[in-house]
Structure 1
Amino acid sequence: MVNVRGYISSNFTKSFLTIFLPFYLIISLVFFVRISSLTSKIQINFAELLLLYSYSIPEIIFYTIPLSFIAALANVLINLSQGNELIALYALGLKSKKILSSLLLLGLLFSFLLAGISFLAMPLSKQFYKAFKEEKRSEAKLNIVPGELGQKFGNYYMYVKEKTDKTFHDIVIYNRTNKADEQFFSSQRGQINHNENVTSLLLHKGYGYTYTKTKLQQAEYETAEIFDRSQSQGFQFQSIASYWSEGKESREKVMHRILFYIFISLIPFLSVYLVASFTMINPRYQQNRSFLVIFITTLFFYIIASSLEKWGTPLLLILSIMIITILGQWLFKKRVAKYF
């Protein structure tokens, strides 16, 4: 029996990789397009593009594995059936349930893998993704281009004539504190400083002017520092527990997402009996309908998953799992185990 399990597992692994890799590449292209769309808002180089893609890998795997597992399971069983290999195993006295036990174990292992990805890896990768975007957006706000008007540093409008390395030359800054007061600063040079979450502009050798309706004040300075008070405090990372319990979204929405992840994670294990009921066939009397089985099974599972994400409750999740388990075993007993 150990050799039979190894043989079936080996065939499943080959079929799974053959299906998983193309699906993975296709979904990766979708994510690359989504990441590339960020270049209209922030500037990223190729290395940063790959870094953002690496943050998306857990999500890509999570959505690729269930479909790949169903397709690989159907292909393996239908190929073994059409090659009369299952018939030979039946003739040796092996029951269909015994043959299916190795695939049930694989389904259980894949379900544990998906649960780990959805509840551990994906929260971390999404936070890294958001933190990277926040950092880039913050840098974009401070990307001062020489010779352009209308650029802002915090609440200040800023004009720079030249820039060498990280130093600005011939700087003019305008700020309107209220309807009656206006401020101007001019400086020979300056540079942007970063200190933790605080960003400032350090000016050297210049003049400051404050204008009101009644008077004009002038001040000369050797150094002056202007702080950007408009910046956010940066992205705050959360632990896994706090991510699921103290998220910004409503509790109901978080619960629906948890139910969705749980159900999607269970698809490999729940699909074994359903798929086997229509792909463990006698090729002399039954036709190969593996493509139809893959399509209907996948559609069936994702309709339930989408329903749980929108209107689900823990009770509905439990009922869905029980009904699918009972339905799968009943169909398997009626169509396969009754004869083999």
Structure 2
Amino acid sequence: MKLNQYLYSQLAVTFFPIFLGLFFITSIVFLVKIASLTSVITMDFFELFKLYAYVIPQIIFYTMPISFFISLVITLAKLASEYELTVITSFGLNPVKILKVFLPITFLLSILLLIISVGLIPKTKFLTKQFLDVKTKEANFNIKASEFGQKFGDWLIYISGKDDKVYEDVKLFKTDKKNDQFIVSDTAILNNDNGSLSFKLLNGKAFIIDEKEFNQIDYESMYINDSIADSKIGIFTNTYEYWKNNIKKNIDIDDLTFFILTSLFPLISLFLVITFGYFNPRYEKNRAVLFSLVAVVLYYVLIKAIGDKILLHALYVIPTIWLIGTYILYSKTIKKEY
């Protein structure tokens, strides 16, 4: 038990600096992308933080598997370089038994990554698109005072002044084959309900003119609705329904396989951890980090090269190939010596 705690403490000392460093760098990249949106839409600090919160699951997903795998390898390599693995092995803990020490935490990590990638990321991406859709529609609706030729959907609009979303002395005009419509209002308030814009007109008159009649309506309040641009982001009920519909329509299947296979990477790479981490510091150089980076790149290339072609079949093909390949590598190197 004390040995397990010691190994976990050594892992924590290595893992958190690597993870936090990658998390910080990836956050900067996403923050730059979010900040670039301010050239198109207007956002305050709270809205910027809200968008950043939406991408946190993606940042964790992209940094956690790599950080954990490299940390495991570095932890064992550090113990090997300080001859601590030699002492541990002399007490009867061969590489497979040490692998079993790290197996539970690695399994829990893969489960956590599956929840984040398959469960949270689709929801946060939907919320991001919904938020940007709303802000884009607000940006498209930029009515200026005392200017002609401006439009609110199908309506030509003219205002004398405005204060934020309150408009003064509003005049609306629309014509079609059947009749002409003209509306005047003392005051109008713009409402934005999840991207659906509407005008609440207060104290005014509406005129409907055709070839035979001229109708006038006096009103205290009137609503005019217009979405300006139809939203194409759809709806999001829950994760199960989302992926069920996507699989049925054959949409984003490559994303699903990428999420699952990336989440499983730390778990199915444990043989590589002991293969790269074990070495004799007297006769061998510590190349653990180099080998780890090569393995990470190779795995991600394998996902893209094979996973994007065979889609859901990759969920059992790639882990099988990877496990067999890593076990063979372990058998021909570390297993012979330890």
TM-score, structure 2 normalization: 0.87
> 1:320 corresponds to which letter in structure 2?
I
- 1:309/1:152 Cα in 2 relative to 1: closer, same or farther (>3 Å)? farther
Alignment of 1:24-39 (within 5 A): 24-39=23-38
Alignment of 1:67-82 (within 5 A): 67-82=66-81
- 8 A Cα contact 2:157 2:170, kept in partner: yes
- 1:209/1:67 Cα in 2 relative to 1: closer, same or farther (>3 Å)? same
- Equivalents in 2 of 1:17, 1:58: separation in Å? 17
Is 1:256 aligned to residue 258 of structure 2?
no
Judge which range, 260-269 or 273-282, deviates more. 273-282
Q: Deviations over 1:292-332 (max 9, x none)?
A: 21221111111122234421244343122112112212222
- 1:82/1:103 Cα in 2 relative to 1: closer, same or farther (>3 Å)? same
Which residue is 2:277 aligned to?
Answer: 279
- Equivalents in 1 of 2:307, 2:42: separation in Å? 34
Which residue is 1:329 aligned to?
Answer: 327
- Equivalents in 1 of 2:223, 2:153: separation in Å? 9
Judge which range, 301-310 or 273-282, deviates more. 301-310
Alignment of 1:52-91 (within 5 A): 52-91=51-90
- Equivalents in 2 of 1:166, 1:30: separation in Å? 34
- Equivalents in 1 of 2:307, 2:146: separation in Å? 51
Q: In the alignment, which of 304, 308, 311 is matched to residue 309 of structure 2?
A: 311
Q: In the alignment, which of 279, 286, 289 is matched to residue 287 of structure 2?
A: 289
- 8 A Cα contact 1:134 1:235, kept in partner: no
Q: Deviations over 1:12-42 (max 9, x none)?
A: 1121101000100111111112222222332
- 8 A Cα contact 1:12 1:72, kept in partner: yes
- Equivalents in 1 of 2:42, 2:234: separation in Å? 19
TM-score, structure 1 normalization: 0.87
Is 1:228 aligned to residue 225 of structure 2?
yes
CA-based RMSD of the aligned residues comes to 2.8
Q: Using the TM superposition, give the Cα deviation of residue 182 of structure 1 relative to its aligned residue in structure 2, in angstroms.
A: 5.0
Q: Deviations over 1:118-161 (max 9, x none)?
A: 12111222222222223323433445343444432221121211
> 1:333 corresponds to which letter in structure 2?
S
Q: Secondary structure at the match of 1:199?
A: strand
Judge which range, 263-272 or 136-145, deviates more. 136-145
Q: Secondary structure at the match of 2:251?
A: helix
Alignment of 1:131-280 (within 5 A): 131-164=130-163, 166-178=165-177, 183-192=181-190, 199-206=198-205, 208=207, 210=209, 219=216, 221-223=218-220, 225=222, 227-231=224-228, 232=230, 236-247=235-246, 251-280=249-278
Q: Deviations over 1:86-124 (max 9, x none)?
A: 011122232121122222332222111111111211122
- Equivalents in 2 of 1:150, 1:5: separation in Å? 74
Q: Using the TM superposition, give the Cα deviation of residue 238 of structure 1 relative to its aligned residue in structure 2, in angstroms.
A: 1.5
- Equivalents in 2 of 1:40, 1:202: separation in Å? 31
> 2:270 corresponds to which letter in structure 1?
V
Judge which range, 127-136 or 111-120, deviates more. 127-136
Q: Which runs of 5+ in 1 are unaligned?
A: none
Which residue is 1:117 aligned to?
Answer: 116
Q: Deviations over 1:43-79 (max 9, x none)?
A: 2110111011111111111111111112212211111
> 1:227 corresponds to which letter in structure 2?
I
Which residue is 2:14 aligned to?
Answer: 15
Q: For this pair of structures, how many residues does the alignment match?
A: 335
- 1:202/1:334 Cα in 2 relative to 1: closer, same or farther (>3 Å)? same
- 1:153/1:275 Cα in 2 relative to 1: closer, same or farther (>3 Å)? same
Q: Deviations over 1:225-253 (max 9, x none)?
A: 35224454796332111111124x87333
Judge which range, 73-82 or 32-41, deviates more. 32-41
Q: Secondary structure at the match of 1:228?
A: strand
- Equivalents in 1 of 2:180, 2:293: separation in Å? 67
Q: Secondary structure at the match of 2:160?
A: strand
Q: Which runs of 5+ in 2 are unaligned?
A: none
- Equivalents in 2 of 1:86, 1:254: separation in Å? 45
